[in-house]
Amino acid sequence: MQMTMQGLALIKRFEGFRGKAYRDPVGVWTVGYGHTSMAGPPSVSDGLEVSRAEADTILHRDVESFARDVAAFVRVTLAPAQFSALVSFAYNVGIGNFRSSSVLKAVNEGDFAAVPRRLQLWTKAGGHVLPGLVKRRAAEAELFVSAAADAEAAPGAPVEAIEGKPAYRSTTNLAAILSALAGIASTLLASARQAVDVLGGPLPGLLVMAVMIGAAAWILRERRRKAKEEGI
């Protein structure tokens, strides 16, 4: 499981960059992209200032730490988007709150459908619902469920068209043609004999045979055309 760029961007968007240390809604000294002393160095106090580049470095270090902790508490396999949403949530509420949250409980129970609803329980700071937290939980929920949406929208393996054999390579077709030729030859010989016997001479018999050969040629041509069309 790993953090995605979308998850990192979500954290940066909602934390916002502050180059000078400030107190968050519950009075905790914060700097950069939501960095506090509890996340590790640097220790944040009044007067601390960081550049945007320094804030980026601190954020990546903090996110890596939170990602390791989240992974340690999650007991099921998650898609990268799901994992990233949980890291963003933990980054905001703290790893201790994440560990005891109903969000993690739902995840470990495999009840992914309940996660967006459980996230919305964490929209208060200092006893008051904050619009910014409402929006953040909604964004985290959207990121979490996007994994399922992407799986449903993913195209399946392309189905290859199955082409039939050429007529001249089909053993079935060749067998049918040979069988037809044998039957036609037998019929032609019998008809020729009858013509000679009835009409009294070889010429009428030859005429009958010529007509039947023409008919046989037409039949074979139609068989080949149909075989080609149907891909036999």
Query: For 127-152, what is each residue's pLDDT tens digit?
Result: 899 999 999 999 999 999 998 766 54
For residue range 74-103, what is the model confidence (pLDDT) as tens digits? 999 999 999 999 999 999 999 999 999 999
pLDDT of the residue at 210: 61
At position 59, the amino acid (one-letter code) is: L
Stated pTM of the model: 0.64
Q: How confident is the model at residue 16 (pLDDT cuts 50, 70, 90)?
A: very high
* Active-site amino acid positions: 15
